[in-house]
Amino acid sequence: MIIASCLFFFFLSCGKDASTNPGEIDFPEKDLSFSQHIRPVLLNRCAFSGCHSSRSKAGGLDLQKNPPVFQSAAGQVVIPFDAAQSLLFLLLSNSVNGISRMPIGGSPLSDAIKKAVETWIDEGADVTN
């Protein structure tokens, strides 16, 4: 499954400048798929960057695990059907309770990615599709 996700992301990136933000992908407005839309972003920008991998688990959060357990040292980071209360979503734009905006030290995620994550969470944060 990891290989399929990586290949999906690779093909979407093919032909673009290496610095291109994966947020330029056209996400659907609804019915987002975790495996097709959200997982590739979490792997590329959060896990494979070294912060939230199975090895490093920054803040206790492993986003490389399939499916991820959205539990960290700060508690449950994804509240299904409630992006506004989900720390994962909130940290994509701002620092929250002393936790820096994510990804720390990296370029901010695009508005398209943030909107996709918000929509996916508000739709129930299903990791089985």
> Using one digit for the tens of pLDDT, what is the confidence trace for 102-122?
999 889 999 999 999 999 999
Q: Is the pLDDT score of 90 beyond 70? A: yes
The pLDDT, as a whole number, for residue 2 is 44
Which among 128, 112, 119, 49 is positioned nearest to 86, based on CA atoms? Answer: 119
The pLDDT, as a whole number, for residue 24 is 58
**Euclidean distance between CA atoms 86 and 60, whole angstroms:** 16
Q: Is the pLDDT score of 41 beyond 60? A: yes
Q: Within the chain, where are the H helices?
A: 2-13, 39-41, 87-90, 111-122
Percent with pLDDT over 90 in the chain? 71
The pLDDT, as a whole number, for residue 105 is 86
The pLDDT, as a whole number, for residue 102 is 94
Which among 98, 78, 100 is positioned nearest to 87, based on CA atoms? Answer: 78
**Euclidean distance between CA atoms 105 and 32, whole angstroms:** 28
The pLDDT, as a whole number, for residue 106 is 86
Nearby residues of 67 by Cβ (< 8 Å), 6 or more positions away = 34, 127, 128
- Does residue 57 contact residue 98 with C-beta atoms inside 8 Å? no
Q: Radius of gyration of the chain from Cα atoms?
A: 14
Q: What is the pTM of this model?
A: 0.79
The pLDDT, as a whole number, for residue 122 is 98
**Euclidean distance between CA atoms 54 and 46, whole angstroms:** 11
Look at 17-26, 49-58, 75-84 and tell me which has the smallest mean pLDDT.
17-26
Q: Is the pLDDT score of 11 beyond 80? A: no
- Give bridge partners of residue 75 from the DSSP assignment: 72
Percent with pLDDT over 70 in the chain? 81
